[in-house]
Structure 1
Amino acid sequence: MVRNIEFNDIQGLIVRGYSELPASCFLLLNITDVAKARQWLGVISEEITDGISKPTQRAVQVAFTYTGIKKLGMDEASLRSFAREFKEGMTADHRKRVLGDLGESDTIKWQWGGPANEEVHIMLMLYYSLDKNLEDDCAIQVSKLDGVRLIQRLDSNLSIFQKRKEHFGFQDGISQPLIKGFSKQGDPRFMVEPGEFILGYQNEYHKLPDSPWVSGDGIPYNLLPLLKDGSNNYDFGKNGTYMVFRQISQDVLKFWKFMEDATCEGGSDEEKRVRLASKMMGRWPSGAPLVKCPERDNPALGQDNSFEFYHADRDGFKCPIGSHVRRSNPRNSKGPTPEESDLINKRHKILRRGRPYGTYIESFDPAEIVAHPEVAKDRGLHFICFNTSLSRQFEFIQDTWINSSKFQGLYNDPDPISGNPLGRCKSETGTFTIQAEPVRERIKDVPAFTKVIGGSYFFMPGIKAVKYLASIR
């Protein structure tokens, strides 16, 4: 058991997803007056919800871009201690191919966070139990902004969704890492070291992850711990983490129209549409894993996450090898042995805290979706995840698993749900292979059903580190 995790200094969203606070909004802020912004930040730092609290009414979190931290006045030597990916930012040109931000997802087309948009410095994250509370308090928070200006407000409300389903109609948020020191129950083989998600603690390499630091001059007493390297520098990163935030738009009509066209044999058949979509996802709409129920949905297994691939479905006859579930979490299927695969997998985990946005259309029928009065409105996912190594965790998953067209022996198959064919296939469509005997089935001309319309890399500091940023002079 991991001891001495400082939950009182860790921002609470890292510890829990606030499912009991379904109404939320994320305020994108730009610093206009540094001195006033620090004063405002000092006030906000007293409102931040920590990892011990279990709020039932309201939670407040705050995160910063690299330019935001720089703007607040951190010295150049200290700024260099941040991860290269964080300093370069999500929109660096060479990162487009890694993340799949090409074509309709090109950063130049983004609504926020892109090179053509106003610079985001801070994200204020607000969570509430009721919509009314959100609207009332959000208005108060905006009125209190001083030295910072609101660029954009991003809203989400879990209460309008059926049992945490995402817009394509599938149960979401089932598979999350079990973290040592966080999770009281779970198979010890699958418990992940906290240093994969929080700086200052041992990671899966049995080392402390690289952490940003600040020089020892002028540090207010007891705000930051000294580094253990014998220097006079302080650990700014302790109890903090890197946060990925991407606004992903989902084309629900395009998704289900493709399923209809790909399965149409003289008429519309919802069962066939749902079956193909489930093959692509790797789970049925209820969340039931195909590995355990390959022929039909079983809602009783909707929350089941206790399955593996190596022994149960090595060849992908139940759950296709290229499905979203197998790519985003290969479990023990990567080899050369199941045990080695489990170890590899634990070194490429992310902690997800995303939320859907937009109106939910509860239908798998393209005709019904077209007729919906709000079909033209944007809807999708505010993808949020935490990791201590952007390159080894989030970017590795995106590049090597999600967008790879040659994942585990495939040829022209990016992730059919969230991949971008333009990355590896170099065309606007890819292929999805359904393994079967005696002959596999190949679904061709699979387009991208999602596009990224905004995003940024953030650093979510420990609460003491937030207070340090407010104290810089």
Structure 2
Amino acid sequence: MTEEPLLPDGDIQGDVLAGFRKDHARYLFYRLEAVAAAKASLAALLPRISPLADVAAFNEAFRRARSRRGEPAGAMTAVWINVAFSRTGLAALAGEPDVDAFADSAFKAGMRKQSRSLGDAEDTAAPGHPNRWLFGGGRPVDAVVTIAADDPRVLSATHEYVDALLTARPGGWTLVHDQPCATRREQPGHEHFGFRDGISQPAPRGRLSSGALISPRYLDPDDPRAEAFARPGSPLVWPGEFVLGLPRQSPARVGEPAPAWRTGPSWAVNGSFLVIRRLSQDVDAFRRFCRESAAALAMPGVSSERLAALLVGRWPSGAPISRSPEADDPALGRDDFAANDFGFASAWRTHATGPARLRGDVPLPRGVSRTDGFPWPEADTDAVRCPTAAHIRKINPRDEASDVGGAIDNLRRTILRRGLPFGPSYDSDPAAERGLLFACYQASIVDQFAKLTNSWVQRPAVPRGRPPGHDLLLGQGEGLFATLLDAEARPHTVSASPSWVTPTGGEYFFTPSITAIRNVLAAPVRPAPERPGD
């Protein structure tokens, strides 16, 4: 196997490859008002920006403590800060020529100009139209600061420090929107529709400066999937799919790299594109749709709960319908490995030997069983168990060939999802606003987020259109539908014009390296040289 690259973990910002993994966060969106002052306050913030080395080391120590003790180590807490910039922010701090050097057309256009292709409302009076967004759209932003912490009191104190630093005279920045987020106390790890979220993530390849792999390996080396997966269901992906300047994923073979992206100014190396979408969720509308649609379907055994699971591809516990098609299985949903160990076809021998075999010398995460005793599914190429329009199948075809190529090429569409829910639970305050602050990192917005959203979510025939359907969980616009198959493979159509997920803010950002912030973005403005005779 090809040796994995040494990651510049002191230079890459920590949320990109490691993830902050905190229960509490605030996203602060700023408008740049004065360049010289903005650079000075950014230079003052620089020592507090959290590098990958620190975040990854903490996450690994926490994982080991939790595996060893069976409970989180309560004394282990941290607070992290990262910063990213929109196209306009980079233009002000680094200059238009440097921004023009980026090849990513989506980033240079900005989310507002691309909102129609994302399916966002065209009617200026509609709630999801960009003119009505809380940030981005009609309220442009130049930067976002992400603060995450274990303790909400520490988060609040850090938020006050950062905001004062950036906005106090002569800070140079104006706060446009402050978005607090937190895991749901009544259902940790679940989004507001009630489904467990964040189970499936790609596993970046690469080694840290400590010598450790950034993605710990749990599969037995003798298992044929050990070359392709770090843990059951989490495919290994070369880090250049998320960070500029590092080796990318080969579309020909899982374990082989491809040349790095070279698609920006020289200082863009070790940076990553960040997409943020603020998505409001109407829980009552979603539940009502599922009740009414299930009652209208001539499909045996489909309750409102099962219809919701078919649209998501998982039951509320996180149990995949591919492994538990008839009813939720909370024990399966709680097991992170078993809940993610499945495919839709049979590539990479995913279904050849049953559940993945695990190493005996590595401590397992809490709740994971060393022996997966849950029912193992057959290949679902006909989409009888999991519809092709199901959310998890639409945005992650796994081992299934898609419109862009074979199953291995799907790895080049993967994104590292971050973000947290916001707002109170539906049961505590039905009238309040709630939703998800979606965030993801990638090396190409065009080939990753935009491909998933503009094409796979919004079009019924891709990534695979047999039977056709849109992603009704995220899809926007009129005339959306999903095709479900009963046990006899007879088609049943669910039609919708979803109003239960509404974009209320968003922008495309670039998360630069710490070196780029120090030497370019926070560097003092140089006065123009005097001309002879001045």
Task: Report how far residue 161 of structure 1 moved.
Answer: 5.1
Which stretch shows the higher mean deviation, 409-418 or 252-261? Answer: 409-418
Q: Is the 8 A contact 1:64 1:460 kept in 2?
A: yes
The residue aligned with 2:313 is: 282
Deviations 1:348-387 (A, max 9, x none): 11111121111123xxxxxxxxxx4621211111110011
The residue matched to 1:160 in structure 2 has which SS? coil
Counterpart of 1:306, as a letter, is D
Which stretch shows the higher mean deviation, 390-399 or 8-17? Answer: 8-17
Task: Report how far residue 163 of structure 1 moved.
Answer: 2.7
> Is residue 75 of structure 1 aligned with residue 142 of structure 2?
no
| 2:484 corresponds to which of 419, 431, 434 | 434
User: Within 2, Cα distance between the matches of 1:310 and 1:154?
Assistant: 40
Where does structure 2 lack aligned partners over 5 or more consecutive residues? 59-76, 207-213, 220-225, 229-234, 251-257, 347-378, 526-534
Alignment CA distance shift 1:430-1:84 (3 Å):
closer
Q: Is the 8 A contact 1:239 1:461 kept in 2?
A: yes
Q: Is the 8 A contact 1:331 1:341 kept in 2?
A: no
User: Within 2, Cα distance between the matches of 1:290 and 1:439?
Assistant: 18
The residue aligned with 1:16 is: 18
Alignment CA distance shift 1:144-1:87 (3 Å):
same
The residue matched to 2:440 in structure 1 has which SS? strand
The residue matched to 1:152 in structure 2 has which SS? strand
Task: Report how far residue 15 of structure 1 moved.
Answer: 2.5
The residue aligned with 2:367 is: none
The residue matched to 1:244 in structure 2 has which SS? strand
Task: Report how far residue 455 of structure 1 moved.
Answer: 0.4
Q: Is the 8 A contact 2:248 2:260 kept in 1?
A: yes
Deviations 1:376-432 (A, max 9, x none): 211111110011111111101112211112232357731110111x2xxxx3x4222
Q: Which stretches of structure 1, 4 residues or more, deviate above 3 A after TM superposition?
A: none
> Is residue 305 of structure 1 aligned with residue 305 of structure 2?
no
TM-score, length-normalised on structure 2? Answer: 0.76
Q: Is the 8 A contact 2:345 2:399 kept in 1?
A: yes
Counterpart of 2:98, as a letter, is S
Task: Report how far residue 472 of structure 1 moved.
Answer: 4.1
The residue aligned with 1:228 is: none
| 1:409 corresponds to which of 436, 450, 465 | 465
> Is residue 125 of structure 1 aligned with residue 146 of structure 2?
yes
User: Within 1, Cα distance between the matches of 2:105 and 2:489?
Assistant: 48
| 2:9 corresponds to which of 1, 7, 10 | 7
| 1:113 corresponds to which of 133, 136, 139 | 136
User: Within 1, Cα distance between the matches of 2:197 and 2:186?
Assistant: 11
Task: Report how far residue 109 of structure 1 moved.
Answer: 2.5
Task: Report how far residue 128 of structure 1 moved.
Answer: 1.4
The residue aligned with 2:73 is: none
Give me the identity figure in percent.
31
Task: Report how far residue 41 of structure 1 moved.
Answer: 0.4
Counterpart of 1:18, as a letter, is F
User: Within 2, Cα distance between the matches of 1:46 and 1:336?
Assistant: 45
Which stretch shows the higher mean deviation, 8-17 or 60-69? Answer: 8-17
The residue aligned with 2:178 is: 153
Deviations 1:35-80 (A, max 9, x none): 11111000111111111113522101100111111112x2333221
Q: Is the 8 A contact 2:40 2:524 kept in 1?
A: no
User: Within 1, Cα distance between the matches of 2:407 and 2:37?
Assistant: 49
The residue aligned with 1:261 is: 292
The residue aligned with 1:38 is: 39
> Is residue 419 of structure 1 aligned with residue 421 of structure 2?
no
Task: Report how far residue 18 of structure 1 moved.
Answer: 2.2
Aligned alpha-carbon RMSD (Å): 2.1
Q: Is the 8 A contact 1:8 1:50 kept in 2?
A: yes
Counterpart of 1:37, as a letter, is A
User: Within 2, Cα distance between the matches of 1:71 and 1:380?
Assistant: 32
TM-score, length-normalised on structure 1? Answer: 0.85
